[in-house]
Amino acid sequence: MSDSDAGNDEPATYRQAASEIEAILGAIEGDRNLDVDALADQVERASTLIKFCYAKLETAEVRVRKVTEDLKASRSDEEEPS
């Protein structure tokens, strides 16, 4: 994988980041003669992508929690006698 393949751009989606992480792992596992500098670059890129994925997961968790709380609140409102 060349520097232009990995890039330093932030992926648009979790799925893109996860796919790139998988590609990096495949390249590392498949190339026993990997240059140390290239390995370091790929590990750094994977680290950046993992942080991106964690942030996406945390954001999704907050959103799901809010929807769940809103649903519980609306259900409680419907059950209260008028």
Quick check: 52 and 11 in contact, CB under 8 A?
yes
Domain count, the chain: 1
User: 70 is in which domain, residue-wise?
Assistant: 3-79
Provide the residue type at 73 as one letter: A
Half-sphere CA count of 4, side-chain side, radius 13 A: 0
Residue pLDDT tens, the chain, 82 long: 444 444 568 899 999 999 999 999 999 999 888 899 999 999 999 999 999 999 999 999 999 999 999 999 998 877 766 5
- Give the pTM: 0.75
**What CATH number did the domain enclosing 69 receive?**
1.10.287
Where would I find the H helices in the chain? Answer: 3-6, 14-30, 36-79
